Amino acid sequence: MSTSFANRLNGSILLISSMFFGLAHGVAPKALIDDGGMVASRSALATEIGAQILADGGNAIDAAVATGFALAVTYPSAGNLGGGGFMVIHLADGTVIANDHRERAPGAASKDMFLDEEGQLVKGLSTASHLAVGVPGTVAGLLDVLARYGRLDRKRVMQPAIDLAAKGFVLDRDLAAQFARRQDVFAKYPASVAVFANEGAPYKMGELFVQTDLANTLRRIQKHGKAGFYEGETADLLVAEMQRGGGLISHDDLLGYQSSWREPIRGTYRGHEIVSMPPPSSGGILLVQMLNMLEPYDIAGMGYGSAQSIHLMIEAERRAYADRAQHLGDADFYPVPIKELISKEYATKRFADFDAKRASISADIGAGEIPAESLETTHASVMDKDGNAVAYTTTLNLSYGAKMVVAGAGFLLNNEMDDFSAKENSPNAFGLIGRKANAIEPGKRMLSSMTPTIVRKDGKPLLVTGSPGGSTIITTTLQVVMNVIDHGMSLSDAVSSPRFHHQWQPDRVMHETYAFSPDTKALLEGMGHKQLIAIPAFYGGGIGDANSVMHSDQGFQGMADPRNAGAAMGPGQLGQ
């Protein structure tokens, strides 16, 4: 990272908290602007790598892949080689495509694998054991995307991540504190301690963080492509880790893994086209479904933050998440009624019982009739000057996944098996309920809430957005999109504005501190909305982390969510 950029970043971090609180008074951090393209991600180091790729002649796909591999080094709580993700791509010729590299259940997985003899869930088995690990997809997905649509070769795109892992980088306060908070859970796994502790002691801010085993794993991928991860030494190390802890992933599971090319979910909202991720993500379907429910109403006329508009949005969220529980799963294994769920006719029927003056009761809201469908993740957004755009969301599920590093390979493993419905109508770690559509089956991809999204206007990308946050991913993305389209906000305001979330069950509304004024909160409670739970809005907290990019008459705008230590950068900012 250039010294001047690092200094500006450190200075901005000190101010971000006060700026975020100041948003209640109309103050928000400014979006960066560049004519040559833009990258926004959770890691300043990864963002700068993506911007350098653009400066060196790479396109948005090259930059997104380089950023993705860099995040595996610089943001290990969610960036990964041992997890999975989704990528939505808009090409300069107008083509849109999605790459699904979600993890899959191992071949030896079974429907009741997390239940005891009495049919009850075994606490921790789906989140904190080797059985929790799904077959990783990130490496296959990133390399497939690069091979099909990238402009630069694998060696060039991966080298910056390898250099960061091999030579190390100086830990900032954010990462050092993350490592320190998790020393107790890392202690269960010697390979995790070897990576995330400094000779047995917690790392401190300012110390050099070197990841030699991870650098060697990245080199094998750089040299051999997918075979450098799914075969050979890395595969042997991963399978050995599974065997040590009673996990299920085999060599056959790794050899059989392939990313899938899918048609994106496409909808319209007030003259804009919404392009988002299809199943096994629930994000695109729910985003379009909620926008369809809201489109007949004058959201702008109601005013941002009004009780009327918030009530309307909560009721749309309540119905969409109820449908998620019933109808959403891996469409390769279950007949997800995608066409019906994203139709405007279905939205009209689904919202027919909406009462403008009274909250619904979630227990009374069932799934719609369909004819015979972490908190730790991370999102990056990229646009280039040629008209390509990428929305990329990747995850290990919970923060640092299963907390276990593959001995000798240096990367963390996911705990994505928890995203299946281990038991019908029983909530997962995010409180989300699932049923038959998302039951565990060998080779199946678990349902996700990741919502990488591109908003197009007149066939050209206007906004690239998405977020981490488990079940709050979808509603975070919804609010960023509505802030831009309905309320005409700048990108900085659209990303920074306080957020709220409802997911049907449990029947409660989580909201950031400044999302509801006292009067608005009183009106919502008077309508019957229960459990309005405030989430402290501070640096490192809050709902979502929507690192976004938007095209405007001024150029490409990039906005790192002020809730966290991310960064936005274009080629023009390099060296400044």
- Residues designated catalytic: 377
Cα–Cα distance measured from residue 45 to residue 73, given in angstroms and rounded to the nearest whole number: 10
**Chain centre to alpha carbon of residue 123:** 25
Cα–Cα distance measured from residue 564 to residue 541, given in angstroms and rounded to the nearest whole number: 7
Q: How far is CA 281 from CA 103, 287, 446, in A?
A: 12, 11, 8
Cα–Cα distance measured from residue 424 to residue 435, given in angstroms and rounded to the nearest whole number: 5
- List 390's β-bridge partners, or say none: 89, 382
Cα–Cα distance measured from residue 512 to residue 530, given in angstroms and rounded to the nearest whole number: 16
Q: Which helix (H) or strand (E) holds 285?
A: helix 283-294
CB atoms within 10 A of CB 119: 8
Helix (H, G, I), strand (E, B) or coil at 359: coil
Q: Check: CB of residue 157 under 8 Å from CB of residue 62.
A: yes
Cα–Cα distance measured from residue 383 to residue 463, given in angstroms and rounded to the nearest whole number: 9
Cis peptide before 280 (omega within 30 of 0): yes
CB atoms within 10 A of CB 361: 11
Q: Check: CB of residue 568 under 8 Å from CB of residue 40.
A: yes
Biggest CA–CA distance in the chain, Å, is 63
Cα–Cα distance measured from residue 196 to residue 374, given in angstroms and rounded to the nearest whole number: 20
Name 203's Cβ contacts closer than 8 Å, sequence gap at least 6: 171, 175, 176, 179, 180, 196, 197, 209
Q: How far is CA 499 from CA 68, 272, 278, 460, 534, in A?
A: 26, 22, 24, 27, 10
Helix (H, G, I), strand (E, B) or coil at 309: helix
Q: Check: CB of residue 547 under 8 Å from CB of residue 379.
A: yes
Which residue type occupies 20? F
Cα–Cα distance measured from residue 422 to residue 104, given in angstroms and rounded to the nearest whole number: 15
Helix (H, G, I), strand (E, B) or coil at 482: helix
Which residue type occupies 292? N
Cis peptide before 29 (omega within 30 of 0): no
Q: How far is CA 376 from CA 129, 254, 397, 449, in A?
A: 18, 24, 6, 12
Q: Check: CB of residue 64 under 8 Å from CB of residue 390.
A: yes
Q: Which helix (H) or strand (E) holds 394?
A: strand 389-397
Q: Give, to the nearest 10 degrees, the angle between helix 44-55 and helix 60-74.
A: 150
Cα–Cα distance measured from residue 319 to residue 36, given in angstroms and rounded to the nearest whole number: 41
- List 455's β-bridge partners, or say none: 274, 463
Q: Check: CB of residue 133 under 8 Å from CB of residue 414.
A: yes
